[in-house]
Structure 1
Amino acid sequence: MKKLFLLAVAITGILTTGFGQVKKGVQTVAIKTPTVQCESCKKRIEEFLKREDGVQKVNVDYKKKVTKVTFVAERTNVENIKAGIANAGYDADDVTADAEAYKKLPKCCKKPEDGGGGEH
């Protein structure tokens, strides 16, 4: 009887730990992306981040200037995601857009002060 009890406790512990890690490992963050201007920006960021290992879902709201990303914490982190957005040519919270990537953006995706900012 004691062995059966210990076996039940061990199985419960394994199942709890296993399921707990899966739930803990997936996170969703909201990143301010103040330089997104249009639907083209949205598509560009979403496609760029889908290549990032661990990213499961990306939703860019260019009207609210927020990008929500769901990712597996064991495979990437918020800093990598922000760097990915910056590498696509956009500001992400406190991370400034990569200058070379920004130069390559279409005019509609550039900041209004640089002559951009139209729906496209």
Structure 2
Amino acid sequence: MKKITLSLLAVIGFVTLSFAQQKAVEKVVIKTPTVQCEQCKERIESYLKREPGISAVKVDFKKKTTTITYLTDRNNIEQLKTAIANAGYDADDVSADGEAYKKLPKCCKKPAGAINTKTSVPQ
């Protein structure tokens, strides 16, 4: 009887331990409107794979979206948007870092008509 009880406690302990070690994984889609080409895709994917907790990155430059799967205890959506901006690209409401944007190849920069210039219009 003691052996059965000890075996049962051991099994319960292992099951509890395995559930306790599972990490919360989240998948998020971020709009990246300034992604233009395959080079942009590769640049963002390689940049984000260096971030902590990232398990998968997929950039779709035709749809202008970036899908990221990450561990919520190691990263969050704002950090991911900032990482994309630090690579030189706009991410949802976060604008690209100016210095990183200047370092992008010409084909990866925004077309001249798409640059957001805020001008005041007299009324």
Pick the TM interval, shorter chain.
0.7 to 0.9
Q: What SS class does the counterpart of residue 86 from structure 1 fall into?
A: helix
Q: What SS class does the counterpart of residue 59 from structure 1 fall into?
A: strand
What is the correspondence of 1:1-120 to structure 2 with a 5 Å cutoff? 4=5, 12=12, 15=15, 18-19=18-19, 22=22, 25-113=24-112
Identity of aligned residues (%): 60
- Deviation (angstroms), 1:20: 6.8
- Deviation (angstroms), 1:79: 1.0
- Deviation (angstroms), 1:47: 0.4
Relative to structure 1, is the Cα distance of residues 29 and 108 closer, same or farther in structure 2, using a 3 angstrom cutoff? same
Q: What SS class does the counterpart of residue 44 from structure 2 fall into?
A: helix
- Deviation (angstroms), 1:11: 5.8
- Deviation (angstroms), 1:17: 7.3
Q: Which moved more, 1:35-44 or 1:105-114?
A: 105-114
**Which is richer in helix?**
1
List alignment gaps of at least 5 residues for structure 1. Answer: 116-120
Relative to structure 1, is the Cα distance of residues 114 and 13 closer, same or farther in structure 2, using a 3 angstrom cutoff? farther
CA distance in structure 2 between the aligned counterparts of 1:44 and 1:25, rounded to whole angstroms: 27
CA distance in structure 2 between the aligned counterparts of 1:94 and 1:11, rounded to whole angstroms: 49
Q: Calculate the aligned-residue CA RMSD, in Å.
A: 2.6
- Deviation (angstroms), 1:16: 5.7
